[in-house]
A and B are shown apart, each in its own frame.
Chain A
Amino acid sequence: MAEAAERTRAVRGRSRPPGGSRTSNTAPRPFGALAWALPPIALLALFFLYPLALVVQQSFRPDSGGTSLRPYADVLASGAFRHALWTTVWLALASTAGCLLLGFLLALVIAFVPFPGAKGVARFIDVYLSFPSFLITLALLFLYGSTGIVGSFQFLTTPWGVLLAEVTYFTPFVMRPLLAAFSQLDTAQLEAACSLGARAPRIVRQVILPEALPALAAGGSLVLVLCLNEFGIVLFTGAKGVTTLPMLVYGKAILESDYPGACVVAVVNVLISVGLYALYRVVSRRAGA
């Protein structure tokens, strides 16, 4: 049935006089193309940009009424906010550094000292990326929590527990672009360096590392943004001492019903993350070129 329909359409297509008046559809038609782009942009504007604009608007509207900078003054002056900002930034920076170091080492072994099953490990990493982040904290609760296997010391309720969970969860995000970059590296370079007498550390430093820099930069800045925005890992530790900006947004909005305050924190968080993400796009585009 479908085949028959296809055939009639093909026949009709052929019966059309050659060199007809129809213009090629692949030629640029700026106005038609712009019209086609409008529906998805309208949807994005309605369901993403307009809500974000409302958040910004609400951040200037204190509960007492009117439009003022009061919410900003209140939030920026509070110790809880400054503490959360500092915790978020140093946790994200430290996690990113940890992920870069660990990811580089592990990807190096998978790519250049391959063992039987290295392909399986690379596939496992792909699967790992599709699991939610809070599973790692859930597992750490068994290992280090109050009824823990390793010990009942309060490791998880400190920022170090969050740091361990973030490094564990986000390292694969660094390893994937690295493995892709390593697979494109010409192994003849390594052989040449080796035959000229360079030892492994020197080959890594002078041949592999320069090739890996774009992938490291791209993966690192993505992980930095994701760490700044991470919520599930911190929520699951149940730690009162570790408050990051996303946790503060959640706490203010849902637990305290202080919407103007939550919106102020959200605006600050968005500014930091979007600024960093713009940097990531520039870096990764340069890496791709």
Chain B
Amino acid sequence: MLVHSRGARWAVWTVFAVLFLPLFALPLLVILGASLATHWSGVLPSGATVAHYRAATRGEALQALTTSLLTALGASLLALTVGTWAALAAAGLRKRYRSIMDALFVLPVAVPSVVVGLSVLVAFSQPPLLLNGTRWIVILAHTVLVTAFAHQSVSAAITRLDPAYEQAAASLGARPAHVLWRVRLPLLLPSLTAAAGLCFALSMGELSATMMLYPPDWTPLPVLVYAATDRGALFTGSAVAVVLMAATLLVLFAVSRVRTRASYR
């Protein structure tokens, strides 16, 4: 559209490829390549092996994978519940209260995750709620961090919702709870699943707050990747990273299947 001559278009595409491929595609390919190799001193990795994957899918790493999956599942379900509740409640408020509530719920995005970790550590290492050293403190911190994203995407969807459906249902005599359960939530389902996928992916990759909090018996995958890298086991680290990416993608794919089926309704 913008560039009409054939030569100029190819020139633009070449520049695009030269910028895009090394910056965005290369890092992922490098991690994938390294996870299958034992040495990397030349241009290409050498010594093909799947030993790193064998190590990355058993013992400590397998436990870390379950830990990450459970943490992400728990955190995203809790965040989705609280975020959706807050978004629905805020939609019924007057404009001034609504903007205060929106501002409160997006605040965790702006606060650095390391500080969220520190604050949770400071607050729950002392009575009355002593959570430090248990798995619940990790799940709690992840929930705090991702609730803001759940709330943001659900409240954006609520403003796009056509009020005619709920008005029609209410005018036919449906109680508020019935309208919520049979009309509003089904209409919001696509954005709810999208928010769930987002929360899950964010929680799977969360490192900053986790580094401040994790107890020795609840080590998520990102911490394991860091531990491997820190002791110089880069190749094992990248195999664990590939497992992390694959698990995230699989769950995202499953969640997007739910969304497409819901949107046909």
Contacts and interface: CB of A to CB of B under 8 A. Distances in A.
Interface in B140-187: 140, 143-144, 147, 163, 166-167, 170-176, 178-179
Contacts of B252: 127, 130
Contacts of B248: 130-131
Contacts of A40: 82-83, 85-86, 89, 105
A277 B109 contact: yes
A277 B152 CA distance: 14
The secondary-structure label for the interface of chain B is: helix
A203 B2 contact: yes
The secondary-structure label for the interface of chain A is: helix
A249 B167 contact: no
A142 B34 contact: yes
B26 interface: yes
Nearest to A146: B232
Given A48-B107, A273-B112, A24 B211 contact: no
A273 B249 CA distance: 30
B85 A106 contact: no
B77 interface: no
Contact of B170 (A24, A36, A235): A24
Nearest to B93: A33
Interface string B173-213: 11110110000000000000000011001101111100110
Contact of A128 (B24, B103, B124, B178): B24
A149 interface: yes
A249 B111 contact: no
Interface string B77-120: 00000110110111011100100010111111111111110111
Interface string A252-270: 0110000100110010011
29 contacts: A14-B173, A33-B89, A36-B92, A41-B101, A41-B104, A43-B82, A47-B143, A48-B116, A51-B116, A51-B120, A51-B124, A55-B115, A55-B122, A121-B20, A130-B201, A130-B202, A130-B252, A131-B245, A134-B207, A138-B238, A140-B27, A168-B27, A190-B1, A225-B110, A231-B207, A232-B207, A236-B226, A236-B229, A246-B113
Closest 7 A/B residue pairs (Cβ)? A132-B205, A277-B110, A139-B27, A51-B119, A51-B123, A229-B112, A231-B208
